[in-house]
Structure 1
């Protein structure tokens, strides 16, 4: 295909595309047209049939060379020149036009076919020599011979189609075989390495000897044309295409001249025999010259490549030898230090293992070993350490019971692993508790942590999600500092909470934290987790979030313990956990329509939780607010007595039950301790208050504990 070094051509088979430099294109078109016209005038001087059928048609070779070098966009110049040549010698404009079409189409098809088979104009491969002989010359030129001879015979009204076709085909093929390679070799004189003076003298001797032998063998009656072939072989062997192409052109021109003058081997033969003999000789000359030149060029290329590879190999061997020598010296030095390095490595391994053990112990000691019972609220948590020995991380969770019955949920992650991450986690966990006790508001806690992280020497990033839940009214306030979003599961529907977002702690110098508010209705589940639950190196984190959402929705109505176990059991590659996993779930219990049963430590801090749970149960059960308040005081007094008198300094539990039976609220407070006898005038005031606030009170004291039964009848709706 054309356009290799010259003017660019269209990607369409026969289209025209003008390049940006129109001046160069115009000059190229004029040059090709002029060369085609002059070559045609030279070829017509050897006409054998009428005035336009010649055994040597140089324009076909000129056109093919132009298409291969300058591009097929040169076809307008060829077409115009062909029409200009054929108009004076044709019977009319129509035959001239048809002949010009054939003269243009044949080299175009030849250029296209040669491009399709990967032809290279340097003719440096044997397949290129075969292609230009059989496809470019003998095959493609049948197009112009067929169109031209038919137009000629039709316009002249004479016979001899076969003879005209043979002469026409011979001339066009001769132009390709002799002229095109010669023109294609001209750029090689400045593209390849220049010849020396000796090589130029050798080339001149070859051309002179070829010319002399060709003239003699073409003029004598003896069949000695084959004597030219050794000269062509010499040219191909020594000079490749730059010597073979001119020698082949000279031999073909002399043979054609001899045929047109019926000299030597062509004397006394018919026109068809002359053309067949001439074409056979020309094809043999071209095939021998170009095929041998291509083989030699390939061999020279292989030899140079082999020499280059050998030189490169030698250089690489030298380099490698030097490298091996240097490596050997380095190995000798390293061997001297190996023993000391091994000892140091042993010490480092022991230190790393000790650091790992300390970090793991620190981390596990700071995580809650069990979650405190919160009346009216179910809480569950899980912690799964990474399976890699040294991957103790900074993941943690916490559930904080605050004043006023509030509950703080925290989950955080200190990026990184090892003792430093575990130590940072310990500091942050204690800080969250301290800030939450001082001011439990999410924004206040996050601002305090932000300032703390900026002051601490932490090289790693910290993400944290803090939730403040009020069991009394179901309000949940939260803020998220770069942590994976919390998951809300409500009535079978699961969704992520994307409010209150902020960057990780300490990343920015200052940040105005905000909080989001949500109502968490009874029965709904809030799930907090670290990124180990949803992130895996080989998968997108979005895939992990989608998987968690689907799995949580599938078991939305399960209790919290079953939910946590299910989420961990469905992890891919559970036996190869690359990062720690922490999760904590909270669910306000549905209290209405069922008895309230609480079992909590008999400690003063639990009185708030019991009162809030009882208040929720009474409210959701439809008890009047005033009666509910009086029952709260009565139950709280009974619980206070259990805390104060049942166990003394020993730990113990108490059970609180509330039932609604036939319009009567029944409250039961039970302990398993031994009451101390009241002293002073204040003894027994609690029971008096309880009796004043309820309709009936029964106190049952046994060696196994004390039970207080309280009843309060609810007025009918008509009585209110």
Structure 2
């Protein structure tokens, strides 16, 4: 026997309205107490179990193989319908009822339990498949009818039939020769329960959910059911092969009454045909059990498919007609509205003609205002772009910004470089679509937001989500494209996410590759921004180029051609000067007399160590200590110094650098220069930390712990104070040749 498990709880276009889904699926609403919820659930579980059991007793009365194999098994329809309406969490009621039904008729408790598992599992599979295809319990679409016939009944019930027949064979209840017929009867009975009982039960809520029937439709429905009963009864008692007369009646019911009429008619036809098969009457007389089941299954499948498919087709057509009627009514209303608008527009036109001369006089003033706005926007944009790129040890940076020519308003192109914790570097370039002060102002907000989010969490998806949330709240009618990358100088790994911006170009040795992964729509366009991350390791000596679309887009030329040209031109520039790279791209791609759109370029190239020595020069500021530490760590690892030596050298050097930041320029208005040099001769490492400041005499209040720490970590520490600054030399024997 079979049972139906798993409510079809869909979302999207096929989902029920929120209120109806909560009512029918048994989901608790906020105003129902936990006790009432538990009581409701227990009542439903008991009702499902009782209905299942009673349906099983009815089905067993039609047994063909022993006492437990029947060609019509109503419990499958009961279970599928109940679990579709109330939810798959009610499957225990089906399992308990199935076990109660099978215990008295099985060879032993184990066989009963295995059969009950099959009775429960088959409907679970059926409803899961229905859920996957977006099944609607109203059966008002053609695909719903096809789904319940082929997926819910014919395919899924193979599970219970196979498990049940195999259990009977294993327990000795049937012989091997009886197995095919037993399996066919079992499958027929389970499938028929889904095909007839489930749609009948699912149609019952439609009587109060959908439009009420007038009296004439009730009379017509009763007439259809009576005629269908008489025709099928005659077909199974006279011995004439007139089963086909049932199909026009079912078509009549589906056409006139849809599912509410087709489901009861199909149930009556199936019940009468099944009863005839069990008694070997009419078309089933004189046939083997397998032949009877094949005939019965074919008839019932045709009945169900014809009824439900035609009912769904009629429902779809009625919905389409209603939609067309509504659209026609809306069109008529809009035509009337548009006619009134045109009449009003004609009146306004007369007035506008009179005002034309006044508007002409104001035009010159507007042109002057637009020119001034262009100048203000350009000044604003230039003033808020980075005045200089940060000094990052071991990394060369260059950038250019070229505004559009005067006859076109300035746009919202921008770039930025952010020094992040842990020695990471954040690179960003973006474009606010549109022109004028609005685009420039939006650019400023987006750039500042990206910098703030990057310092809080440098992960590309996290930063992009923060910017997306900001842009979504701004009154920006145009979209904002943006690409944000995080570069780790120590590993040369770059991570990025791209929101609708032209891809970055990485090239080395005359070969270029566009970073095309981690793509998403421009920020602020969708309601819920979803961003991913991609990563790639830059080859040694590679250059990373970011740019805005004004560099490669031209009217009448495909974007692909522009990107191919950029790859060729960039790869042709010598690898030793990224400033020359930026200049060449500007000279090659832009026309000095007419620049249609703003152009921003940002280039980055990791610098290899020169002659095995390190030379870092940065302002003596606390925020630069992490850059020094990162550069020294990278240099030591490239020299294959052991990790233990690297850590101790970094601590000692950090103490010396911190002293420079704290003391060397304390009496000056601005920070001076911090110089860190390192060289490795065999296993002899020397690190030199220099400044050009004047240290104040040490106060007699303790201290000196930093120097003691350096002495403990290094083999030799030499500190020399001169009028020109302080020179600290740290020396140590290190282990070389260890992979970092």
Taking structure 2 as the reference length, the TM-score comes to: 0.50
> 1:402·1:436 contact (CA, 8 Å) conserved in 2?
yes
Task: Indicate yes or no: 2:701 matched with 1:676.
Answer: no
Match of 2:575 among 541, 547, 557: 557
Spell out, residue by residue over 1:564-603, the C-alpha distance to the aligned partner (whole angstroms, 9 max, x if none): 1122221153432211111111122212752111111110
Work out whether residues 408 and 468 of structure 1, in 8 Å CA contact, stay in contact via their aligned partners in 2.
yes
Find 1:482's aligned residue among 495, 500, 512: 500
Provide closer, same or farther for how the CA distance between residues 372 and 580 of structure 1 changes in structure 2, counting only shifts above 3 A. Answer: same
Q: Tell me the CA shift for residue 547 of structure 1.
A: 0.7
Deviation at 1:343, TM superposition (A): 4.6
Distance, in Å, in 2 between the alignment partners of 1:427 and 1:683 is: 46
Q: Tell me, yes or no, if the aligned pair for 2:640 and 2:737 is still in contact at 8 Å.
A: no
Where does 1:115-154 land on structure 2 (aligned, <5 Å)? Answer: none
1:407 correspondence with 2:425? yes
> What residue is the counterpart of 1:70 in the other structure?
none
1:695 equivalenced with 2:715 (yes/no): yes
1:448 aligns with 2:505: no
Please report how far the alpha carbon of residue 358 of structure 1 lies from its aligned counterpart in structure 2 after TM superposition: 1.9
Q: 2:503 matched to 1:512?
A: no
Structure 1 position 659, deviation (Å): 0.9
Partner SS state of residue 433, structure 1: helix
SS of the counterpart of 1:499? coil
Contact in 2 for aligned 1:383/1:583 (Cα 8 Å) = yes
Structure 1's 500 and 471: CA in aligned 2 closer, same or farther, altered over 3 A? Answer: same
TM alignment of 1:307-322, pairs within 5 A: none
Q: Is 1:709 equivalent to 2:729 in the alignment? A: yes
User: What is the deviation of 1:650?
Assistant: 2.5
SS in 2 for 1:352: helix
Q: Which residue of structure 2 aligns with residue 590 of structure 1?
A: 608
Partner SS state of residue 622, structure 2: coil
Secondary structure in structure 2 of the residue aligned to 1:527: strand
For 2:356 and 2:479, the matched residues in 1 are separated by 38
Q: 1:273-302: CA deviations, max 9, x gaps?
A: xxxxxxxxxxxxxxxxxxxxxxxxxxxxxx
The 8 Å contact of residues 501 and 522 in structure 2, kept in 1 or not, is answered as yes
Alpha-carbon spacing, 1:502–1:656, altered in 2? closer, same or farther (3 Å):
same
Return closer, same or farther for 1:702/1:513 CA change in 2, 3 Å cut-off. same
| Partner of residue 385, structure 1 | 403
In the alignment, is the contact (CA less than 8 A) between 2:641 and 2:736 conserved in 1?
no
Contact persistence 1:371–1:380 (CA under 8 A): yes
Q: Say which SS state the counterpart of residue 577 (structure 1) adopts.
A: coil
The alignment partner of 1:605 has SS state of helix
Gaps of at least 5 residues in structure 1 are 1-329
Moved more, 544-553 or 671-680: 671-680
- 2: distance between equivalents of 1:716 and 1:623? 5
CA contact (8 A) 2:641 2:737 kept: no
How is 1:431-442 mapped onto 2 (pairs within 5 angstroms)?
431-442=449-460
From the superposition, tell whether residues 577 and 558 of structure 1 become closer, same or farther in structure 2 (CA, over 3 Å): farther
CA distance in 1, matches of 2:737, 2:554: 60
Q: 1:570 is paired with a residue of what secondary structure? A: helix
SS at 1:417 equivalent: coil
Of 419, 437, 440 in structure 2, the residue corresponding to residue 419 of structure 1 is 437
SS of 2:589's equivalent in the other structure is coil
TM-score of the superposition, structure 1-length normalised?
0.51
Note if 1:539 corresponds to 2:557: yes
Secondary structure of 2:690's partner?
strand
- Out of 642, 648, 652, the residue aligned to residue 630 of structure 1 is 648
SS at match of 1:416: coil
Decide whether the 8 Å contact of 2:378 with 2:403 is kept in 1. no
RMSD over aligned CA atoms reads 2.4
C-alpha distance in structure 1 between counterparts of 2:417 and 2:605, whole Å: 13
The CA distance in 1 between the partners of 2:535 and 2:704, in whole Å, is 45
Aligned to 1:371: 389
The answer to whether the aligner puts 1:495 opposite 2:513 as a matched pair is: yes
Question: Secondary structure in 1 aligned to 2:568?
Answer: helix
Query: What is aligned with 2:109?
Result: none
Cα deviation, 1:682-701, whole Å, max 9, x if unaligned, reads: 43222222222222222222
**Distance between the aligned counterparts of 2:493 and 2:542, measured in 1?**
12
SS in 1 for 2:585: helix
Does the CA contact (< 8 Å) of 1:522 and 1:587 recur in 2?
A: no
CA contact 1:478–1:517 (8 Å) conserved in 2: yes
Asked which structure has the greater CA Rg, the reply is 1
> C-alpha deviations, 1:313-369, integer Å up to 9, x for none?
xxxxxxxxxxxxxxxxx99x989964x445523432332233222211210111111
Indicate conservation of the 8 Å contact 1:388/1:578, yes or no. no
| Aligned mate of 1:643, from 661, 670, 675 | 661
Offset at residue 389 of structure 1 (A)? 4.2
- Which whole-Å CA distance do the structure 2 matches of 1:715 and 1:583 have between them? 43
Aligned partners of 1:628, 1:438: CA distance in 2, in Å? 28
